[in-house]
């Protein structure tokens, strides 16, 4: 999920963003030369998308920025240090800065990237025993913690200082972990291939449960009905028992897991997602909901459509929506907080948008009247799409694979070539009806003419032309030697073009039924052709990597594909543009005339080869289909950026086909619903009247109750007012007393404070006098000290001046002695220097002579030593060479000895081999002779067997014909059986209805007879009364009174009788009442079931109540303990106070200080403890009262509990 309503999923070589409400699609193309998306990851802040894909046979990791429009490629991550393998799982860190990628085991790697700087932070090898699914994810709160699971390993890594270090140690047997999800910072839930859910907390096993293989609710109902049938009848069906056995043997496996706020969702069996919610009991998580894939009614196998493997589960950011992806490329959604979730345990998914193709698309065609296209696929389905609204209008699955499809220009019919037959299908409003079947097996190509009156079908190497009105075979076009790959009609339906695998392109004239022109290139296998609007130019593509322009039976131009095989071609109706599809899934758009250079636009689209292409009649849309099962609708723009404008605005037809039986069924259903509406209206009116009556009675009761309550409240109010007045008088009296007391206390305090102030003032004056005296004394002492210091300084200066004079006299005498000594020293120095100079000259002359002699002798010795050194060096070299020669000779001798020994062994072995070979040759010659004999015998047998094989083939052909006829008979019999079953069920329903009507008529007859008898008795009574009245005919007053009595007596009764007789709707009212009572009975039965649920809820509440009472008792015990502790603390306090009083009498101040501190701390601690415990007691009391009120007030889901039980709960609360 990119947003709450935007889903992102892989499509072709890129990704598709789909808005769930507005239904818009936005495609994010992959990188150039991409082979498809292997893994996706969206960052937690929904801004970035990471994609793993293979580009030009090299793995690539790309990060896109989703916030920019269109999505912009931010970074591409590559590393030369790692082996080139594509990532199968990606994950962003919580702060979106880091990206983790895992490659598939067994030689898997986990890489840790700082993606914005394209830097590989760390990589670690993940060793696994075998290959399988591998998944990686970050901790939801820690950037450094990464989890990776796969076949035989569950590892937690922590990133620190440039390395990934494993945190957990695996214990027990290794499991095949298929998926995992983080539930919190420390909890990871893992699913295995054996149906186990394992919860790890900080890398250690915390909780484990196994999930059973689930059956759909419908399968369970069918099993129950089959069991009833088998118990009633003696014969049991073997096939059904085999199916049940196979389902029982199948093991569950957890294929996908995803976490959400309440717990997690997982897929344990094909087609089901289980929701687990957190509990407080021993079981940490408990299953709360089953959500099943719906059965596809238009599928050929509805059971299998609801049993797809779920490979991915995803929740929206607000957790209102869950989307799942299946192994058949289908997307389903489920709204989490729906009303069904609360009521029923089993719920069903719905298609996210519409069902998609799950296999290669083999056919694509458009029509003129409507903006629709038809596709068929190897998934055995035919689908009709609307390319204007981007919706799926019709689809149906068949039992055979569909190879080709063609739409009638009206868009009301289509031709589909199946593996067994070619079928002419009517496109109804909500269904596809097979109108006609043609015996054309494996029809690979078919096409309606542009006028719609003819259609062509390929039957082997022959093109058969049929009339779409009479369905007669008008013409057969023969001449192709290879498989025909494509056929095209000209605009006026007079010409017809076809191509085959043997490189032939033929142009046919339909008026004569003969070939007009041909172009054969045997080296090329043609895959697709296209015609220009004037039918003069044919564009063909094939296996030779070129686009050919053919006209007048020859190739005019060849455009190279630059290393790609072209698989499909289409031309715009204007003739200015040519579109080509490649084997890599890309689309190329080029202008006409065709360019010889790379002058075209290439677009990334499909992950497989493009199989079909078509351009709409207004040239606004290009439609492409591929082997990857995807259909792309392209808007065609000119180079200026505007949409190409068509000359006329196309008006599309709104007509649809519908079966007469469907109209009749719908009209009948409408009538039934109208009748039902009328009945419901009358019922509602009746119920409203009853409710009005009941409400009026209730209102009267409530009014009486309220008047009584108002009276009682008035009396209470008067009493309370009187009490209030009394209390006010008391308060005034108390206030006056308090005011007087306060005034007295204030006066006392003022007098006390004045006395204290006077005392303090006197003390202050005394202290001031003392300070003045002290100051005078200190000033006297300072004056004396200064006088004594000045005297001492004078005496010292005089003494030191005398000493200085004596020393200066001594210094002058010493200086004179020094001058005399220096003069004598200089004279002695001059004499010594002269003597030394003479001696140095003599010594110098001696040593120079000696030096010359020594140099001469030294030169002679140097010459001699050089000669001797040269001799030594030459002798040493000779010695070294001799040593080397000796060693080489020894090595050669050893080698030669080894060679001699090996040769002797070889000679012995060869002699033995020669003997063995001779023996084997003799044996083989004998064996060859025997084989020749056997060969002759086998040739004889072969001749006999060939003859028998021919006979058996003839028998098999006859048998096959019999089997075909028998199969047709069986199909007819099955159809008749189904009809008989339907008729029997309808007859049973009619019988039950007639029986009910008979009972109703009998009851009415009985009522009418009773009414008749009552009326006759009334008439007799009236006659007698009239006869009596006639007796008073003379007396007019009596006569008048009697007539009045008669009137009062009979007229009212007769009115009631007449109204009863006139009420024609009485019978209908009775029937309605009867149905209403039946419904009430059903509702009461449901309520009885609900009552059991309420009883369980009541028991749960009682248990909670008991647990609360236990808690209260525990708290009371704790209170007692606290009281005892308080008592002990108070006693300790008293003891410490006594000790302090004793220690106060002691003389030493040091001993006093430490106990006083201890005493203060003990007092503070005890007071704090008491306060804390009192607060806790108060808080617990408040909680008990709140819980008691909740239990008293809380209504149970569905109704009130019995009175006795409620009284018990109130008693427990009061206790």
Secondary structure (DSSP) of 960-1028: HHHHHHHHHHHHHHHHHHHHHHHHHHHHHHHHHHHHHHHHHHHHHHHHHHHHHHHHHHHHHHHHHHHHH
Bin 168: left if φ > 0, else alpha if -120 < ψ < 50, else beta. beta
- Res 1192: pLDDT: 55
Give residue 1081's pLDDT.
83
The lowest-confidence range among 88-92, 184-188, 460-464, 1186-1190 is 1186-1190
First CA to last CA distance, the chain: 54
Distance separating alpha carbons of residues 906 and 900, to the nearest angstrom: 10
Q: Which residues of 173-182 are buried (b: 16+ CB within 10 A; e: fewer)?
A: eebbbbbbbb
Q: pLDDT band for position 1144 (50/70/90)?
A: low
What's the alpha-carbon Rg for the chain, to the nearest Å?
56
Helices 660-1030 and 1052-1062: angle between axes, nearest 10 degrees: 160
Please check whether residue 619 is in contact with residue 636, taking contact to mean a CB–CB distance below 8 angstroms: yes
Q: Under DSSP, is residue 1193 helix (H, G, I), strand (E, B) or coil?
A: helix
Query: Side-chain half-sphere of 389: how many Cα atoms within 13 Å?
Result: 11
**Number of other CB atoms surrounding residue 274 within 10 Å:** 19
pLDDT bin (cut points 50, 70, 90) of residue 80 is low
Q: Mean pLDDT in the chain?
A: 81
Distance CA 982, CA 976 (A): 10
Per-residue model confidence as pLDDT tens digits over 483-524: 888 999 888 888 889 999 888 899 988 888 788 888 888 888
Q: What is the pLDDT of residues 186-236, one digit of tens each?
A: 888 988 888 888 888 887 878 888 888 777 766 666 655 444 433 333 322
DSSP state, residue 13: T
Predicted confidence (pLDDT) at residue 677 exceeds the cutoff of 90: yes
- What per-residue confidence (pLDDT) applies to 457? 93
Partner residues linked to 456 by β-bridges: 447, 465
Q: Is pLDDT of 237 > 60?
A: no
Gap between the Cα atoms of 60 and 75, Å rounded: 11
- Please compute the mean of the pLDDT values over residues 650-673 and round it to a whole number: 86
What number of helices (H) and strands (E) belong to the chain?
10, 55
Mean pLDDT across 953-969:
86
Environment class of 816 (CB within 10 Å of its CB; exposed 0-12, middle 13-18, buried 19+): exposed
**pLDDT attached to residue 1148:** 41
Q: What's residue 618's pLDDT?
A: 83
Banded pLDDT at 568 (limits 50, 70, 90): very high
Mean pLDDT, residues 235-262 taken together: 57
156, 116 Cβ separation under 8 angstroms: no
Cβ neighbours for 312, distance < 8 A, ≥ 6 positions apart: 256, 324, 325
How many whole angstroms from its chain centre is CA 619? 39
The helix (run of H) or strand (run of E) holding residue 40 is strand 34-42
Question: Is the model's pLDDT at 61 over the cut of 70?
Answer: yes
* Per-range mean pLDDT, top range of 210-224, 267-281, 394-408: 394-408
- CA-wise closest residue to 366 among 624, 688, 23: 624
What is the pLDDT at residue 414? 92
How distant, in Å, are the alpha carbons of 76, 891, 893, 897, 901 from that of 888? 63, 5, 9, 14, 20
Residue 614 and residue 816: Cα distance in Å, rounded? 135
295 or 488, which is more confident?
Answer: 488
CA–CA separation, 325 vs 356, rounded Å? 12
Looking at residue 624, what is its pLDDT?
93
- In this structure, are residues 488 and 540 in contact, taking their beta carbons and an 8 Å threshold? no
Q: What percent of the chain has pLDDT over 70?
A: 88
Taking residues 791-800, what's their average pLDDT? 80
pLDDT of 239 strictly over 70: no
Query: Tell me: the pLDDT tens digits for 613-646?
Result: 999 988 888 999 998 888 888 888 876 555 555 5
What local confidence, expressed as pLDDT, does residue 693 receive?
A: 92
Q: Output the CA angle 849-850-852, nearest 5 degrees.
A: 70
Q: For residue 1152, is pLDDT > 90? A: no
Q: Which helix (H) or strand (E) holds 113?
A: strand 107-114
The pLDDT tens digits for 1019-1048 are 888 888 888 888 888 778 888 888 888 888
Residues 6+ apart with CB under 8 A from 704: none
pLDDT > 70? residue 890: yes
Mean pLDDT to the nearest integer, 772-797:
81
Q: Whole-angstrom Cα distance, residue 1097 to residue 1119? A: 33
**242-246, 1006-1010, 1124-1128: range with lowest mean pLDDT:** 242-246
Does 1062 have pLDDT greater than 70? no
Find the mean pLDDT for residues 416-437: 89
Distance CA 62, CA 50 (A): 6
Mean pLDDT for the stretch of residues 63-69: 80
Model confidence at 1134, in pLDDT bands (50, 70, 90)? confident
The answer to whether the CB of 64 falls within 8 A of the CB of 72 is: yes
Confidence band (pLDDT; 50, 70, 90) for 1153? Answer: very low
Mean pLDDT over 437-448 rounds to: 89
SS3 track for 1087-1115: HHHHHHHHHHHHHHHHHHHHHHHHHHHHH
pLDDT digits 0-9 by tens, 161-192: 878 888 877 777 778 888 899 888 888 898 88
């Amino acid at each position: 999920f990119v947003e709450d309503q935007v889903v992102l999923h892989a499509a072709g070589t890129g990704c598709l963003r789909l808005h769930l409400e507005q239904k818009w699609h936005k495609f994010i193309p992959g990188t150039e030369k991409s082979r498809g998306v292997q893994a996706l990851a969206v960052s937690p802040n929904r801004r970035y998308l990471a994609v793993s894909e293979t580009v030009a046979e090299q793995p690539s990791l790309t990060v896109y920025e989703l916030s920019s429009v269109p999505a912009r490629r931010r970074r591409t991550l590559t590393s030369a240090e790692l082996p080139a393998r594509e990532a199968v799982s990606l994950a962003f860190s919580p702060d979106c800065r880091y990206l983790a990628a895992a490659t598939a085991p067994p030689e898997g790697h986990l890489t840790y990237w700082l993606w914005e700087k394209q830097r590989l932070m760390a990589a670690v090898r993940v060793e696994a025993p075998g290959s399988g699914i591998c998944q990686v994810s970050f901790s939801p709160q820690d950037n450094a913690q990464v989890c990776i699971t796969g076949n035989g390993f569950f590892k937690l890594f922590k990133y620190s200082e440039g390395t990934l270090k494993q945190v957990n140690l695996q214990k027990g047997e290794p499991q095949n972990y298929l998926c995992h999800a983080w539930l919190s910072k420390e909890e990871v839930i893992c699913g295995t291939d054996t149906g186990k859910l394992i919860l790890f907390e900080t890398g250690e096993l915390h909780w484990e449960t196994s999930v059973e293989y689930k059956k759909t609710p419908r399968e369970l109902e069918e099993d129950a009905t089959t069991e009833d049938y088998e118990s009633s009848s003696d014969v049991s069906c073997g096939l059904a028992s085999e199916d049940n056995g196979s389902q029982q043997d199948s093991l569950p496996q957890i294929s996908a897991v995803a976490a959400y706020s309440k717990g997690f969702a997982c897929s344990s069996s094909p087609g089901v997602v289980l929701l687990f919610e957190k509990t407080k009991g021993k079981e940490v998580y408990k299953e709360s909901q089953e959500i099943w894939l719906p059965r596809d009614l238009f599928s050929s196998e509805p059971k299998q459509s609801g049993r797809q493997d779920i490979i991915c589960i995803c929740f929206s950011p607000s957790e209102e929506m869950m989307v799942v992806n299946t192994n058949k490329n289908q997307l389903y959604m489920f709204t989490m907080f729906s009303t069904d979730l609360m009521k029923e345990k089993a719920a069903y998914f719905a298609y996210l948008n519409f069902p998609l193709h799950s296999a290669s698309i083999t056919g694509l065609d458009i029509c003129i009247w409507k903006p629709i296209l038809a596709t068929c696929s190897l998934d055995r389905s035919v689908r009709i799409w609307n390319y204007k609204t981007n919706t799926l209008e019709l689809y149906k699955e068949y039992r055979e694979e569909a190879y080709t499809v063609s739409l009638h220009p009206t868009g009301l019919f289509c031709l589909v070539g199946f593996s067994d037959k070619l079928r002419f299908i009517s496109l109804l409003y909500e269904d596809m009806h097979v109108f006609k079947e043609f015996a054309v097996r494996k029809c690979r190509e078919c096409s309606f003419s542009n006028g719609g009156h003819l259609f062509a079908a390929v039957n082997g190497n022959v093109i058969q032309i049929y009339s779409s009105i009479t369905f007669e075979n008008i013409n057969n076009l023969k001449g192709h030697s290879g498989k025909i790959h494509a056929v095209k009609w000209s605009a006026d339906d007079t010409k017809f073009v076809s191509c085959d695998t043997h490189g032939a392109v033929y142009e046919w004239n339909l008026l004569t039924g003969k070939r007009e022109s041909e172009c054969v290139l045997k080296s090329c296998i043609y895959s697709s052709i296209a015609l220009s609007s004037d039918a003069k130019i044919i564009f063909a593509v094939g296996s030779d990597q070129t686009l050919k322009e053919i006209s007048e039976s020859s190739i005019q131009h060849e455009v190279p594909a630059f290393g790609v095989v072209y698989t499909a071609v289409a031309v715009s109706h204007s003739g200015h543009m040519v579109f080509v599809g490649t084997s890599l899934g890309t689309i190329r758009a080029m202008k006409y005339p065709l360019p010889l250079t790379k002058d075209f636009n290439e677009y990334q689209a499909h992950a497989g080869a493009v199989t079909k292409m078509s351009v709409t009649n207004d040239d606004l849309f290009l439609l492409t289909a591929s082997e990857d099962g995807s259909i792309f609708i392209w808007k065609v723009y000119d180079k200026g950026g505007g949409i190409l404008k068509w000359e006329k605005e196309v008006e599309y037809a709104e007509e649809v086909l519908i079966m007469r039986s469907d109209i009749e069924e719908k009209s009948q259903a409408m009538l039934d619903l109208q009748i039902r509406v009328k009945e419901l209206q009358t019922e509602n009116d009746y119920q409203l009247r009853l409710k009005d009556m009941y409400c009026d009675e209730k209102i009267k009761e409530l009014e009486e109750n309220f008047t009584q309550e108002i009276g009682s409240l008035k009396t209470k109010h008067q009493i309370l007012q009187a009490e209030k007045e009394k209390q006010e008088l008391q308060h005034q009296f108390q206030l006056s007393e308090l005011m007087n007391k306060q005034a007295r206390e204030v006066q006392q305090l003022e007098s006390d404070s004045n006395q204290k102030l006077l005392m303090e003032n006197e003390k202050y004056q005394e202290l001031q006098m003392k300070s003045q005296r002290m100051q005078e004394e200190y000033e006297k002492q300072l004056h004396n000290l200064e006088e004594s210091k000045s005297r001492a300084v004078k005496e010292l200066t005089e003494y030191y001046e005398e000493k200085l004079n004596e020393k200066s006299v001594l210094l002058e005498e010493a200086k004179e002695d020094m001058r005399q000594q220096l003069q004598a020293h200089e004279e002695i120095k001059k004499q010594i220097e002269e003597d030394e100079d003479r001696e140095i000259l003599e010594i110098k002359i001696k040593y120079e002579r000696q030096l010359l002699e020594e140099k001469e002798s030294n030169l002679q010795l140097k010459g001699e030593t050089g000669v001797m050194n040269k001799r030594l060096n030459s002798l040493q070299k000779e010695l070294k060479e001799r040593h080397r020669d000796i060693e080489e000779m020894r090595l050669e001798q050893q080698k030669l000895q080894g060679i001699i020994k090996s040769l002797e062994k070889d000679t012995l072995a060869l002699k033995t081999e020669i003997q063995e070979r001779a023996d084997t040759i003799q044996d083989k010659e004998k064996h060859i002779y025997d084989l020749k004999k056997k060969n002759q015998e086998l040739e004889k047998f072969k001749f006999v067997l060939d003859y028998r094989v021919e006979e058996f083939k003839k028998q098999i052909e006859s048998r096959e014909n019999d089997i075909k006829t028998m199969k047709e008979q069986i199909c007819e019999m099955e159809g008749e059986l189904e009809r008989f079953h339907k008729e029997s069920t309808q007859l049973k329903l009619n019988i039950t209805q007639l029986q009910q009507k008979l009972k109703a008529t009998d009851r009415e007859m009985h009522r009418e007879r009773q009414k008749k008898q009552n009326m006759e008795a009334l008439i007799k009574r009236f006659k007698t009364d009239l006869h009596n009245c006639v007796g008073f005919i003379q007396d007019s007053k009596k006569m008048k009174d009697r007539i009045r009595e008669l009137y009062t007596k009979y007229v009212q009764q007769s009115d009631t009788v007449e109204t009863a007789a006139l009420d024609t709707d009485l019978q209908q009212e009775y029937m309605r009442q009867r149905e209403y009572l039946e419904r009430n009975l059903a509702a009461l039965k449901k309520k009885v079931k609900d009552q059991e649920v309420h009883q369980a809820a009541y028991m749960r509440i009682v248990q909670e109540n008991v647990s609360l009472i236990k808690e209260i008792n525990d708290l009371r015990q704790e209170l007692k303990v606290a009281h005892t502790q308080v008592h002990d603390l108070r006693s300790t306090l008293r003891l410490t106070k006594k000790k302090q009083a004793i220690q106060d009498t002691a003389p030493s101040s040091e001993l006093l200080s430490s106990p006083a501190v201890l005493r203060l701390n003990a007092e503070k601690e005890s007071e704090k403890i008491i306060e804390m415990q009192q607060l806790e007691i108060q808080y617990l009391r408040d909680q008990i009262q709140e819980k008691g009120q909740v239990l008293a007030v809380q209504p149970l889901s569905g109704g009130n509990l019995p009175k006795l039980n409620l009284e018990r709960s109130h008693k427990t609360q009061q206790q």
